[in-house]
Amino acid sequence: MELKKHRRLTHQERVIIQTLLEEKKSKSFIAKKLGRTRSTITREVNRWVTKPTEKYNADLAHFNAKDDYLNKRNKDKISTYKRLCIYVYKGLLKEWTPEQISGRIKKDYPNDPVMSISHEAIYQHIYKKPQARLNMKLIKLLVRGTKRRKSRLHRKRKGSKIIDQVSIDSRPSHIQDRQESGHWEGDLMVGANHKSVIGTIVERKFRYTLIVKLENKKANHVSKKFSKTLNNLDPIFKKTMTYDNGIEMAQHKNITQKTGMEIYFAHPYSSWERGTNENTNGLIRRYLPKGTNFNNINAKQLQII
């Protein structure tokens, strides 16, 4: 008989186990009868019969096993492992982002499967019960601190007014792998009352960051300042830049002409396609929170950040 693998015991099988145990049959006999391994039967019986005076009860065993399974299904990894939970919470208290926590834990515990977590799993743990007191505190520790995560599927998509833009769909696929340096993501950060602005450009592989002091967000000024900043780099680090659909990039062809860099545009309302830049902007906001007048921040201060 072929042994059954990777399938939980059914209630009917548990009834057979109980019946055969009452008939004083051995665990090997029961295993052969059910087409299971002997270890499966031994583990099942030992789990529910811990004393010589106890008897295996199929109904009770099945109820508890089902309840236990459902609890495991509803329990995420952070809630399951206390030391992982402590590590994640301590990281959040240090103002680390979930991305930073996920990256750091791999270095601190390289060979420990328990101490491994993706940034998405951390976000899901935090936003699982957004109205709960603990979760509200955790949400406030995040860079943006928003009470709800927006679904990518429910964001509006609109066309762009930028002429001759090249979609991210046309960007060479190897750029996504972050194996080659010289590919950047860019954006603007707007200051108090929308009256001041700075530019941020982040290299995808090394996360090297440039913060550009800007006087305004007019397309010709942005293209001039971005080009000047990027041209301070060695040519091997100037290959492509991926940007959002902000009208300040209307002069993208000028940047390509002056720097030799191809400019690609993410889809509208798809900030995750420039995730490195978005996360970096969040980190910069630690030092320059919303409401900051960037006109009062000089280039040296930006360099220190």
pLDDT of 101 > 80? The answer is yes
Amino acid at 139: I
Identify the burial level of 11 via C-beta atoms within 10 angstroms of its C-beta, where 0-12 means exposed, 13-18 middle and 19 or more buried. Answer: middle
pLDDT of 144 > 80? The answer is no
DSSP symbols for 43-62:
HHHHHH--STT----HHHHH
- The tokens for 223 are 């293209």
pLDDT digits (tens, 9 = 90+) for 239-258: 999 999 889 999 999 999 99
Mean pLDDT of the chain: 86
pLDDT digits (tens, 9 = 90+) for 122-133: 998 888 877 777
pLDDT of 155 > 60? The answer is no
All residues at 6 or more sequence positions from 151 whose CB lies less than 8 Å from its CB, including other chains: none
Is the distance from CB of 176 to CB of 165 less than 8 angstroms? no
pLDDT digits (tens, 9 = 90+) for 166-184: 999 999 999 999 999 999 9
| 4-29 average pLDDT score | 87
User: Is the model more confident about 158 or about 271?
Assistant: 271
User: What secondary structure letter does DSSP report for 167?
Assistant: B
For residue 222, how many other CB atoms are within 10 A of its CB? 27
All residues at 6 or more sequence positions from 201 whose CB lies less than 8 Å from its CB, including other chains: 184, 185, 186, 209, 210, 212, 226, 229, 230, 241, 277
Whole-Å CA distances, 174 to 171, 183, 208, 266, 298: 9, 11, 19, 16, 37
Going by C-alpha positions, the residue among 222, 174, 227, 202 that lies closest to residue 278 is: 202
Identify the band that residue 79 occupies on the pLDDT scale cut at 50, 70 and 90: confident
Residue 72 sits at the vertex; the CA angle it makes with 118 and 78, to the nearest 5 degrees, is 30
Question: Which percentage of the chain shows pLDDT scores above 90?
Answer: 56
Candidate from 22-26, 74-78, 101-105, 288-292 with smallest mean pLDDT: 74-78
- The tokens for 114 are 């328990």
Q: What residue ranges do the domains of the chain occupy?
A: 11-73, 77-146, 168-304
pLDDT digits (tens, 9 = 90+) for 185-217: 999 999 988 889 999 999 999 999 999 999 999
| 9-37 average pLDDT score | 92
pLDDT at 7: 76
pLDDT at 65: 72
Distance CA 77, CA 141 (A): 20
Please tell me which of 82-96, 179-193, 266-280 the model is most confident about, judged by mean pLDDT: 179-193
Is the distance from CB of 221 to CB of 215 less than 8 angstroms? yes
Distance CA 250, CA 114 (A): 48
- The tokens for 35 are 């087409």
Q: What share of the chain is helix, strand, coil (3-state, %, to 5)?
A: 50, 10, 40
Distance CA 47, CA 65 (A): 10
pLDDT of 230 > 70? The answer is yes
pLDDT of 269 > 90? The answer is no
pLDDT of 75 > 80? The answer is no
pLDDT at 149: 56
Distance CA 266, CA 169 (A): 8
Identify the band that residue 37 occupies on the pLDDT scale cut at 50, 70 and 90: very high
Looking up tokens 């590919």 gives 183
All residues at 6 or more sequence positions from 241 whose CB lies less than 8 Å from its CB, including other chains: 183, 184, 185, 186, 201, 255, 261, 262, 263, 264
- The tokens for 4 are 């059954």
User: What secondary structure letter does DSSP report for 115?
Assistant: S
Identify the band that residue 20 occupies on the pLDDT scale cut at 50, 70 and 90: very high
Identify the band that residue 141 occupies on the pLDDT scale cut at 50, 70 and 90: confident
All residues at 6 or more sequence positions from 289 whose CB lies less than 8 Å from its CB, including other chains: none
pLDDT at 69: 60
Mention the CATH class of domain 168-304.
alpha beta
pLDDT of 5 > 60? The answer is no
